[in-house]
């Protein structure tokens, strides 16, 4: 097993070796495994695949809700979206991989809280494209390192966003973030409102902090992502181009 998986979560590495099926629940999110591979991830800090699809206009909200209502109990929402013609296989895979890695980044964040695994639990989305646990862990580590190189002050990730003294120099993309920087919304909340991956938003926020476009808190702040949603273990528009290219290349290489 790769040392990357061990460094991020020893339990994830062990479950991968066991080819376990179930849900790994941590302080900031959850990873769903099937035969030791990651098939879904969710975090209260990251917009779900439903937000990414509907905010972009690719899928009407009513279409998503119908898919969940008709296929969620069977854990076949992904299959229903493709079979009903709402999404093509390839675009669903790319969007799902983007959402999976986005949520996994937060789910695998360093924590002192308990890590729990519930065997046999499956997500209502169903399996789209399993990802080796070591790959998920490696990508989470790469992203954490990238944030450090951009601006080594993680306080900005969870603090309410406040415009800085140089805000007037913001680009058009940055102005979208600043328009919602009201001193109350966190970067994760803004990402959800804009329908963008949360990690991409964190990268932009750190760049903006480095340039003085937003303020960097002088003291650490508590994570306000909130508790895990109640459906963690039961059924109840602006992409990162570099990431999508990597995902596309990986899909094409596997064909």
Residue 230 has pLDDT above 60, yes or no: no
Torsion region of 126: left, alpha or beta (phi above 0 gives left; psi -120 to 50 gives alpha): left
Instruction: State mean pLDDT over 152-161.
Output: 95
Burial (CB count <10 Å: 0-12, 13-18, 19+), residue 11: middle
Tell me the pLDDT tens digit for each residue of 80-101.
999 999 999 999 999 999 999 9
Give the per-residue pLDDT at 215: 95
Cα–Cα distance, 129 to 40 (Å, whole number): 9
pLDDT higher at 201 or 228: 201
Hey, is 34 helix, strand or coil? Answer: strand
Hey, is 250 helix, strand or coil? Answer: helix
The residues, ordered by sequence, that sit 6+ positions from 207 with a Cβ below 8 Å of its Cβ are 150, 151
Give the per-residue pLDDT at 236: 36
The residues, ordered by sequence, that sit 6+ positions from 96 with a Cβ below 8 Å of its Cβ are 40, 49, 78, 125, 128, 129
Give the per-residue pLDDT at 218: 77
The residues, ordered by sequence, that sit 6+ positions from 73 with a Cβ below 8 Å of its Cβ are 124, 235
Residue 28 has pLDDT above 80, yes or no: yes
The torsion angles phi and psi of 22, rounded to 5 degrees, stand at 155, -160
Residue 238 has pLDDT above 80, yes or no: no
Tell me the pLDDT tens digit for each residue of 59-69.
999 999 999 99
Cα–Cα distance, 221 to 40 (Å, whole number): 29
């Amino acid at each position: 097993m790769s040392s990357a998986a061990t460094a991020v979560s020893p339990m994830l590495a062990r479950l991968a070796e066991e080819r376990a099926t179930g849900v790994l629940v941590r302080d900031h999110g959850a990873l769903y495994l099937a035969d030791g591979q990651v098939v879904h991830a969710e975090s209260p800090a990251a917009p779900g695949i439903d937000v990414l699809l509907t905010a972009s206009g690719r899928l009407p909200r009513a279409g998503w809700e119908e898919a969940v209502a008709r296929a969620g109990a069977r854990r076949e929402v992904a299959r229903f979206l493709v079979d009903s013609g709402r999404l093509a296989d390839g675009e669903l895979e790319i969007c799902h991989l983007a959402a999976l890695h986005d949520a996994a980044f937060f789910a695998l964040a360093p924590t002192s809280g308990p890590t729990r695994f519930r065997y046999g639990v499956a997500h209502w989305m169903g399996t789209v494209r399993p990802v080796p646990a070591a790959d998920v862990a490696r990508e989470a580590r790469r992203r954490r390192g990238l944030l450090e190189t951009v601006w080594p002050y993680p306080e900005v990730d969870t603090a309410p966003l406040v415009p800085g003294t140089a805000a007037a120099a913001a680009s058009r993309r940055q102005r979208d973030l600043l328009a919602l920087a009201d001193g109350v919304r966190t970067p994760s909340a803004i990402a959800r409102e804009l329908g963008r991956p949360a990690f991409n938003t964190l990268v932009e926020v750190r760049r903006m902090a480095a340039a003085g476009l937003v303020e960097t808190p002088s003291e650490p702040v508590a994570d306000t992502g909130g508790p895990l949603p109640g459906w963690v273990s039961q059924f109840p528009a602006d992409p990162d181009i570099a990431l999508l290219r990597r995902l596309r290349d990986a899909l094409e290489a596997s064909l």
